[in-house]
A = this chain, B = another copy of it.
Amino acid sequence: MRNRIGFTFLIIALLAPGIGLKAQDKPYQDVAKTIIDSALVNQKAYYLLRELTSQIGGRLSGSPQAAAAVEWGRQTFMKTGADRVFLQPVMVPHWVRGPQETAAVVNSSQLGTVPLTITALGGSVATPSGGLTAEVVEVKSLKEAEALGEKARGKIVFYSRPMDRRLRQTFPAYGGAVDQRVAGPSVAAKVGAVAVLVRSMTTRLDDVPHTGTLHYMEGVKRIPAAALSTMDSELLSSLLKKEPHLRVHMEMSPRWLPDVLSYNVIGEIRGSEKPEEIVLLGAHLDSWDLAQGAHDDGAGVVQVIEALRLIKKLGLKPKRTIRGVLYMNEENGLRGGLAYADSSARKGWRHIAALESDAGGFTPVGVGVSAPDSIVKSIARWSYLLKQINADRIGKGGGGADISPLKKFGVPMLGLRVVSHRYFDYHHSALDTFDKVNPRELELGAATMAIMAYVLAMEGI
């Protein structure tokens, strides 16, 4: 009997298309290959990114460009074949950069007046009209700023700690320096400072400032704060060593306007067997205003759309729903991510995994997973599908800001891992433009997301 069953099984295995022993060893190999081929040949994500960046450009929450991006996202999901497309309303903050953004050292005995390249940090209040002028005091940390005490009163506090170049990945280097930008203004205000300059968050020496959000603490005076280019930060540090009583004049005119109605844009492919179970692919539609938001996060946006398009175009029928979410307001509020999580709780959406792309459209190297070890291991079993493009490093630690509010529901958080060396060259600055994106790198990221979404939608976690 056992022999006969064995023989019967063998015959079936050999004859049935797609379930031969070899295919069973490594299922979805052919699908992965086809997805990658199609992405590399057609480069649709790249052409979509050209549209988004060149026809709309920077799209900070509340701006007309952000509204245009919502409509573009909706139409693009529809054109590329999503089964259902809908908008999710969310009120977003509306901060606008003003026309004035200037600064200069005004009393160097060596150099006279020395112009400094600055840009307002996102959310900063304006200087008084006509600007302010004050002595500068340099610190390397929040702790040093606090310790200034009375010495900070009436001064401009200059946070100058650079990102640590030694770190092998740039995101931890960013994480290790960005407290100066986020909390620095309020910490300085507490000890009486009148304004703040922060060394730009980039590992490069360049002459463009890199903006990004600040967080004013409740009950603390809001003082103007600007990013200073890394080259001017080095210059200012070296001048201060010789001339500790340097005065800087700075003028900025940003404004806060009333909140604006905006939207997350959602497109999905309905699951054929368990449509109520959702694999979420996320990225954020808003970007800083200084450039086109090509890598941050236009790349992620078109990768999400492309992942759905590839699956649909290739005629794949996932058992579970694959949902793309283009979040609004990641950069200065996370309101989109929070609104999505609220809806999710109210409507009982069941996410089996959420995968975000928000590290730039660079060469993918794998997927990071924040989840219990058993789930990390389960997801990592698909790494062989990504081996052919060297994107098979699936391991612990991943996610993204937009999807992070889902964490409290126990959703496994996944993040697309990419080569990170160039990301902060462009991040939040005028340099984040379409020409910095390589179509092959961008498409391989989209293919990685499509492959992961499809196998998870077929096989679950």
B residues less than 8 Å from A40 (CB atoms): 165-166
B residues less than 8 Å from A170 (CB atoms): 440
Given A363-B421, A419-B419, A421-B363: A37 and B166 interface contact (C-beta under 8 Å): yes
The count of residues in chain A whose C-beta lies closer than 8 Å to any C-beta of chain B is 26
A419 touches B166 (CB 8 A): no
B residues less than 8 Å from A43 (CB atoms): 165
CA gap between A165 and B41 in the complex, in Å: 6
15 extra A-B contacts, CB within 8 A, seeds A204-B439, A390-B393, A422-B441: A37-B166, A40-B166, A41-B165, A165-B440, A168-B389, A168-B390, A363-B363, A363-B419, A363-B421, A365-B390, A419-B419, A421-B438, A421-B440, A421-B444, A425-B438
Top 6 A-B pairs ranked by shortest CB distance?
A421-B440, A37-B166, A40-B165, A363-B419, A421-B441, A422-B438
Contact for A168 among B36, B204, B439, CB less than 8 A: B36
Q: 1/0 contact trace for A389-426 toward B, CB 8 Å?
A: 11001000000000000000000000000010110010
B residues less than 8 Å from A444 (CB atoms): 421
CA gap between A86 and B79 in the complex, in Å: 64
Chain B proximity of A435: nearest CB distance (Å) = 10
CA gap between A390 and B441 in the complex, in Å: 17
What is the interface of chain A, defined by CB distance below 8 A to chain B? 36-37, 40-41, 43, 165-166, 168, 170, 203-204, 363, 365, 388-390, 393, 419, 421-422, 425, 438-441, 444
CA gap between A390 and B37 in the complex, in Å: 25
B residues less than 8 Å from A204 (CB atoms): 439
Chain B proximity of A51: nearest CB distance (Å) = 16
CA gap between A441 and B203 in the complex, in Å: 12
Chain B residue with Cβ nearest A166: B37
Chain B proximity of A166: nearest CB distance (Å) = 5
B residues less than 8 Å from A390 (CB atoms): 168, 365, 393
CA gap between A425 and B419 in the complex, in Å: 18
CA gap between A422 and B170 in the complex, in Å: 20
Chain B proximity of A32: nearest CB distance (Å) = 12
B residues less than 8 Å from A363 (CB atoms): 363, 419, 421
CA gap between A388 and B422 in the complex, in Å: 18
Interface centre among A40, A365, A393 (most CB of B within 10 A): A40
CA gap between A393 and B388 in the complex, in Å: 13
Chain B proximity of A285: nearest CB distance (Å) = 26
Given A165-B40, A166-B37: A440 and B203 interface contact (C-beta under 8 Å): yes
CA gap between A438 and B415 in the complex, in Å: 24
CA gap between A41 and B390 in the complex, in Å: 27
Chain B proximity of A38: nearest CB distance (Å) = 9
Chain B residue with Cβ nearest A442: B421
Chain B proximity of A430: nearest CB distance (Å) = 15
Given A422-B441, A438-B425, A441-B422: A168 and B41 interface contact (C-beta under 8 Å): no
Chain B residue with Cβ nearest A393: B390
